Amino acid sequence: MIKVGVTGGIGSGKSTVCRLFAELGVPVYEADREAKRLMSQDPLRSQIVTRFGTIDSAELASRVFSNPEELAALNAMVHPAVMADFCVFCGQFSPRLAPRQGEVPLVHPPSSSLRNGKTCPTKFHKNIPSSEPKYVIMESALLFSAGLERYFDVTLTVEATVEQRVEWVRRRDGYDEAHIRMRIAAQGGFERADFVIQNNGSEDDLRHKVSKFHTYFKLYSPCVMGIVNVTPDSFYAGSRTSERQAIETRVKEIVAEGCDVIDIGGYSSRPGADPVSVDEEWRRVGLGMQVATDVAPCVPVSIDTFRNEIARRAATLRHDVIINDISAGELDPKMYAAVAEADAIYIAMHMRGRPETMQQHTQYDDGGVTTEVERYFEEKIAQLHAHGIDKIVTDPGFGFAKTLIQNYELLHGLHRLKRFRMPILSGVSRKSMIYNLLGVTPAESLPGTIALGWESLRQGATILRVHDVREAVDTVKIFECYEKCR
């Protein structure tokens, strides 16, 4: 489970965004509201009265928002208490995130805490899952100005124009324009957020954007991507499903076994595979998407393609489609524009050359394959950000332009990709790095796949892309239990 900090200045719409996350079942801690509760209770109340001479919120706001030093002094009092309270809140869902003895001063259980298995009524804390959620959110307007961002795995800010914010706050709270602009000027640091949601005033638009981030944030925790090959020539014969009935059977199977994402491909990347036209690839991918949507409309779908035409057509079929590109845009320069226009989650994989030539490009410099892959993603992520693509998943590309030994060197150093603070996909299922090493066939490579899946998780991978979903789901469950005991 990761911690997500959601912020935005007064009138930005961050509360609406957090409400939409909560409607999707995400636990949300309202730091601004909980801070008021903590400030009304001792010992914090007495400390504030001693320092500022008042506890009245209007008087405090008028005083501190016009004086940066006073604001910093108030933050220094309030926010340690808020973070301690947030730790207690997180501890309800994950023992690993609960405060340890002597680590954080426990101030007070949050008003939204679970008691006897029931959720106390609060504004946003609804639909809280019974099992450990993939992530929790803290909503705070002062996330950056108070220096709280270091406590979070990722941060998200909600933005709107100053004119929109002034108008919205004036209608909502009745403040005059000068007071609102003073409040806006006092809040800052939002440009340091990892992600941005632009609020244009449409709640439907915000709902679409929140839905995509909800899918993306879940990819930061271990999950399973089930492969659906709508092809007649994928390297593993057992994965080929080219007709509608076979696709439907396959989708039902992997959903029942617990896959988190359905990955649909219509063009085999196996060396020696027959070329496929754009129209034929779309016939296959479109059919797979239609079946997946009919069978499991709530399960996210990714499409395995390097063509912008396929990505664009897929985005018209499902607004939340994930684009899984084995070339990371190297084989189609128009791919970035297609992904950006769809505001899609983008899986960028490392590969050299084309699938039919990639094994001719396995010469890496003295730094080795892992250093090359790490350097590649430094440049690639910068390129993607420049094109307006922010929801990125890194895939080191096991088996693509790597020798057998290089694949294992890369697996050994996979943890180095964690520094990009993005989900990491590991695609080792039944690949040649297993069956060539063991002298077996792809059909006999399940035990090796399970072993490498475990090591991938241990090294920091968060997505296992597999043919055998049940075994991968079991591996994730065992791994998560193991991690809780560390």
Angle at the Cα of 73 from the Cα atoms of 67 and 76, rounded to 5 degrees = 140
Give pLDDT tens digits for 317-339: 999 999 999 999 999 999 999 99
Among residues 161, 179, 195, the one where a domain terminates is 195
> What band does 271 get if pLDDT is binned at 50, 70 and 90?
low
Residue 206 forms part of a structural domain: no
In a domain, 277, yes or no: yes
Report which of residues 133 and 314 the model is more confident about: 314
Residue 145 is part of a domain; what is its CATH number?
Answer: 3.40.50.300
What is the structure's pLDDT at 117? 34
Note whether 303 and 166 are same-domain residues: no
pLDDT band at 166 (very low <50, low <70, confident <90, very high): confident
287: domain CATH number is 3.20.20.20
Question: What is the domain range of residue 135?
Answer: 2-195
Residue 272 and residue 182 in one domain? no
Q: Which of 37-41, 91-95, 157-161, 175-179 is least confident?
A: 91-95
Residue 94 scores a pLDDT above 50: yes
More confident residue, 274 or 251: 251
Q: Indicate if 233 and 265 belong to the same structural domain.
A: yes
Cα–Cα distance, 420 to 398 (Å, whole number): 19
- 76-92 pLDDT, tens per residue? 888 889 998 998 898 88
Q: Lowest-pLDDT range, 104-108, 263-267, 451-455?
A: 104-108
Residue 202 lies in a domain: no
pLDDT at 432: 94
Same domain flag for 262 and 181: no
Question: If pLDDT is split at 50, 70 and 90, which confidence band does 95 have?
Answer: low
Same domain, 142 and 264: no
Q: Kindly state whether residue 200 falls inside one of the protein's structural domains.
A: no
- Residue 62, pLDDT score: 79
Q: Same domain, yes or no, for 173 and 246?
A: no
* Domain closes at, from 195, 211, 231: 195
| Catalytic-residue membership of 252 | no
In this structure, the answer to whether residues 415 and 456 fall within a common structural domain is: yes
Does 210 map to a domain?
no
pLDDT digits (tens, 9 = 90+) for 167-219: 888 888 888 888 888 877 877 788 899 999 999 989 999 999 999 999 999 99
Mean pLDDT, the chain, integer: 88
Residue 432 lies in a domain: yes
Whether residues 246 and 288 share a domain: the answer is: yes
Residue 291 belongs to some domain of the structure? yes
pLDDT at 153 exceeding the cut of 80? yes
Is residue 176 domain-shared with residue 308, that is, in the same domain? no
Residue 397 and residue 298 share a domain:
yes
Catalytic-role residue among 284, 313, 352, 431: 431
Do 321 and 462 reside in the same domain of the chain?
Answer: yes
Q: Which of 134, 465, 470, 484 is catalytic?
A: 465
205, part of any domain: no
Residue that finishes a domain, picked among 195, 229, 255: 195
pTM of the full predicted structure? 0.88
In this structure, are residues 27 and 160 in contact, taking their beta carbons and an 8 Å threshold? no
The pLDDT score that the predictor gives to residue 20 is 96
Which pLDDT belongs to residue 408?
A: 98
Q: What is the pLDDT of residue 112?
A: 38
The count of structural domains within the chain is: 2
pLDDT score of 152 more than 80? yes
Tens digits of per-residue pLDDT, 348-399? 999 998 887 888 888 998 889 999 999 999 999 999 999 999 999 999 999 9
Same domain, 136 and 187: yes
**Could you report the per-residue pLDDT of 96-143, keeping only the tens digit for each?**
665 554 444 333 333 333 322 333 333 334 344 446 889 999 999 888
* Annotated catalytic residue 431: yes
